[in-house]
Amino acid sequence: MMNVLILAAGLGTRLRPLTLDMPKPLVPVVDASVLELQAQKARQLGEVVLHVNAHYLADQVEAEAARLGFEKVWLEPEILGTAGPLSRIYRAGYRGGLLVMNGDAYCQFDLARFVEAAVSAGADFALLGVDFPKVNTLRVDSRGRLSGVLKNFGESEGEAVTFSGVSWYSDAALSRMDAAEFNIVNFWKSEVDAGRPPFVDMSQKDALWIDMGSPEGLKRACDARREELGIDSWVGNAPSADSRFVRSVVKCVADIPADASFTDSILYEGATVQPGESVVREIRGRGFCWKL
């Protein structure tokens, strides 16, 4: 049975003050948090064991993980980077390979296709690449193997892609991971240097992938989720056809004046709206207003 780890220990600093009240993986993206959406995608693989790590506002992550049926919440007194949590899971006796996903990215990858490609490639681990020119730092050789990471190690030539945050590690790879390692890129380098470069799957490089760590990314994620659900607006806990709401997500229904209107906006709990106000391309919450 394969293990799945969703990384959820980050501080979410780019989304403060929204993330002063909740960790970024629990920020609602229309009808569900990214943590819940990632768990749903993971379960489409079949029988999996769900893990999540937690540090910032860990009690909230623990409560949500319990509600969603996670096997284990790995509490981190201090942030261990990416390599640390992976090694901990293996050293605790979990076997069957490990699929790793980010708790701050909205994506529409075919995970089953990625895992199948990873296993078929014959490498001990694999990375899922996307085309995001601003940060296309991975370099991939003609065999589809990682040859370098720009400004870090290895070759500067080869096809360039961005690491999506989705990866798969076999038990063999995890057994070689140093428990004290913080930066996963250091492990990648050691494996490349040892002649065991990971496979980089680029077959889904044009699939939807959104880093929702900024206000703009959060808005794009909500827009993509509305499109995926086939709805124009979401108000409270359900889709809405009310003409006052156009391409908007409104969570603070109790605080909305009856004559206010909203276009291309997101309102979280604690947002302030004045009677008769027309809110256009904004994200609001308790004590903040981001104009997009």
Residues 34/106, Cβ–Cβ less than 8 Å: yes
Q: Reduce the DSSP state of residue 159 to 3 states and report it.
A: strand
Query: Alpha-carbon distance 186 to 122, whole Å?
Result: 21
CATH 3.90.550.10 domain position(s) in the chain:
2-210
pLDDT tens per residue across span 69-107: 999 999 877 766 678 889 899 999 999 999 999 988 999
Instruction: Name which of 235, 220, 231 is nearest 281 in CA terms.
Output: 220
Residues 158/145, Cβ–Cβ less than 8 Å: no
Instruction: Name which of 44, 55, 84, 50 is nearest 66 in CA terms.
Output: 50
**CATH value of 2-210 in 1.20.1440.230, 3.90.550.10, 3.40.50.720, 3.10.180.10:** 3.90.550.10
Query: Alpha-carbon distance 2 to 78, whole Å?
Result: 27
Q: Is the peptide bond before 17 cis (omega within 30 degrees of 0)?
A: yes
More reliable by pLDDT, 113 or 85: 113
* 70-90 burial: b if 16+ Cβ within 10 Å, else e: bebbbebeeebbbbbbbbbbb
pLDDT tens per residue across span 128-173: 999 998 889 999 999 999 999 998 888 778 899 999 999 999 999 9
